[in-house]
Structure 1
């Protein structure tokens, strides 16, 4: 860690709030001391160096978080020391995450390898350099492989070539954006916490079966939170300030749908039990939405039998709605109509019924 950064307790009050609610705070205190590091182990340093992209979370001057992807050829990420990661890439013009990538800005990083399901996270302080920037480590930790679908990558163009992607500002989620979200089996989310000493930014992966994100008529997104590592980095940050930045990727076209807005954690709702695998929910209401067509130099193909076994054990919102409806019907009288009467014997008569409400 750089000399200017004081090592902080592993968990802040937002994370502790949820851990205490679940009765795991004492256990997580010991785990946090062991797995939240102020440096990258050699395994992580080697891992970053082989990646073709990295997910970055930043916070713009208005205090809104954004998530984005930076692409390069393997080797564009390098770690000269355990406390430093060099990134030979820049945010493209029009990428809103670039507004929070100035000297001294805190950023969050997620290295994820979709063809192996490996992933590691890090947050730290950005310093610009000629070829890109470096990040000095604040916190570094590993992540489990759950809910990551297997995808193989290929380059559609050289990463150094500008995409010339048109930046489309959407006043609300249009039909194409809604369809993209509704079909997604993954997205990335940036959040942050303002601690007494400094700001820490996090960016993480969320995955499930296609349809695991619900889009309401007013544009509100509802996301199930499945069983995980109990860190609650994302949800803990949301508890503190109610903000999040999401990016959805069209893996076939390289399009990005980026949003920032207001988020809320839901710990008590009948929808939690109705959604298979959900242990909590959180909602997101976008305030600013950008679509950047063909922004990424990478394309991904879904691998045969690439579904995460963990994703397949979860549900979707259609199933959840059916469960809620069935639960409601089980608690109420339902009208039926007689469609047929059959005299089986002189003593027995059968009545054939159908629900009157369809």
Structure 2
């Protein structure tokens, strides 16, 4: 049986006030960002700008329009840690309606994780979890960070800590369609990249990155995060069999991902072969490269980060749906020339 998390009466009254007063948020500036995020906001000169509007953007509840948005989704992206404390990003699928928000403080996901999923046995009550709702077709996305409060096969309940919307920047429009639901997934595990994995990365125009703030932080601004990254096909550079270099483009100035890297380098990457339904999971350690001159050769990149790979998991025929590219993001200059740095592995 799944139970709803109790909240203080004052919190619910504040939520009612926020609904009645457009633009009002119940979250204070002191509980919006952890130290890693604040350091990067300060370093990049974005602190004053983000402070001017963050308390109107970040909430501790799911607004009604976001509740309806999640209800419309047939796929959902998730970030969390496994039982060994390793961070992974993954994708869940179901019929529209498999993600529900019965109240502004709760998200329920009615699906089971596949045995091939690195988080299949990890989502116990008390686990920090990040949710990214993304509709490729209209480039809409919303983020949630929360805590697992109930889990049983086929049903996951999450208590919300923070929510906010993201702009459509860098999202390539895709239309999803049914795949071969009868196909049986096959899994391969490695400690380094191998040719099929390099091929997926080298042609990818997007991926997902999960991170966690680690044990140094607590409160609503701590925990797991998952974010989308998009660019030209091949924008992620394969340095060698154990290292990737990733350009970082202008975002919302929250620095949720890089701020987590500042406190805890463990991270998980998810690459999807949208045409064939294959999934590539990577786990490793991330580090921001503040002064690398390579950034000057990559149009649009503001900085770089490096990802050292510990584990590679490739699952073929993992997704029961497929995605057809409709249009590249207008924010990605597809005419600029990017050098090809990817190395044969």
* Structure 2 length-normalised TM: 0.86
Alignment of 1:228-307 (within 5 A): 228-303=251-326, 306-307=327-328
Matched residue SS, 1:282: strand
Cα distance change on mapping 1:308 and 1:125 into 2, 3 Å? same
User: Residue 48 of structure 1 aligns with which residue?
Assistant: 70
Higher relative contact order (CA 8 A, sep 6+): 2
**Conservation of the 8 A alpha-carbon contact between 1:17 and 1:236:** yes
* Residue aligning to 1:312: 333
Aligned-pair distance for 1:140?
Answer: 0.3
- The alignment of Structure 1 onto Structure 2 pairs a total of residues equal to 316
Are positions 1:94 and 2:98 aligned together? no
- Helix, strand or coil: the match of 1:116? coil
Unaligned runs of 5+ in 1: 322-358
2:157 matched residue in structure 1? 134
1:84 aligned to which of 99, 106, 110: 106
Greater CA radius of gyration, 1 or 2?
1
* CA distance, structure 2, for counterparts of residue 100 and residue 114 of structure 1: 27
Per-residue CA deviations over 1:239-261 (Å, capped at 9, x if unaligned) read 11112100100001110000100
Q: Check 1:112–1:122 CA distance in 2 against 1; reply closer, same or farther (3 A cut).
A: same
Question: Does the residue aligned with 2:134 lie in a helix, a strand or coil?
Answer: strand
- Asked if 1:150 is matched to 2:173, the reply is yes
Q: Deviations over 1:177-220 (max 9, x none)?
A: 11110100000110011354355100010000101100012431
Partner SS state of residue 310, structure 1: coil
Among candidates 184, 193, 200, match of residue 180 of structure 1: 200
Cα distance, 1:99 vs structure 2:
3.6
Displacement after TM superposition at 1:113 (Å): 0.5
- Structure-2 separation of matches of 1:131 and 1:181: 31
Partner residue, 2:49: 27
Q: Contact between 2:242 and 2:310, CA under 8 Å: does it hold in 1?
A: no
Report the CA distance between 1:102 and its aligned residue.
1.1
Instruction: Tell me, yes or no, if the aligned pair for 1:57 and 1:191 is still in contact at 8 Å.
Output: yes
Call closer, same or farther: CA 1:219–1:315 in 2, change over 3 Å: farther
SS in 1 for 2:154: coil
Instruction: Choose which of 203, 219, 238 in structure 2 pairs with 1:215.
Output: 238
Secondary structure at the counterpart of residue 110 of structure 1:
strand
* CA distance in 2: counterparts of 1:65 and 1:73, whole angstroms: 27
Partner Cα distance (1:12, 1:313) in 2:
35
Mapped to 1, the partners of 2:243 and 2:341 lie a distance apart of: 17
Give the Cα–Cα distance (whole angstroms) in 1 for the partners of residues 58 and 225 of structure 2.
13
Cα deviation code 1:40-84 (max 9, x no counterpart): 111111100001100000101222100110000111111110111
Q: Does the residue aligned with 2:124 lie in a helix, a strand or coil?
A: coil
Aligned runs of 1:161-172 on 2, under 5 Å? 164-172=184-192
Q: Does 1:191 align with 2:214?
A: no
Partners of 1:151 and 1:300 within 8 A in 2? yes
Residue 313 of structure 1: how far off its partner (Å):
5.9
Counterpart contact for 2:248–2:301, Cα < 8 Å: yes
SS in 2 for 1:147: coil
* C-alpha displacement of 1:130: 5.4
User: Using a 3 Å threshold, how does the CA distance of structure 1 residues 129 and 171 change in structure 2: closer, same or farther?
Assistant: closer
Residue 141 of structure 2: aligned partner: 119
Runs of 4 or more, structure 1, over 3 Å off, are: 1-8, 313-317
User: Which of 39, 63, 71 is the matching residue for 2:85?
Assistant: 63
Query: What residue is the counterpart of 2:226 in the other structure?
Result: 203
Q: Aligned equivalents of 1:320 and 1:276: distance in 2?
A: 14
Instruction: Verify the 8 A CA contact 2:79 2:129 in the aligned structure 1.
Output: yes
* 1:153-181 deviation digits (Å, cap 9, x = unpaired): 011255xx7x6412210231111111110
SS of the residue corresponding to residue 102 of structure 1 reads coil
Q: Distance in 1 between matches of 2:124 and 2:50?
A: 34
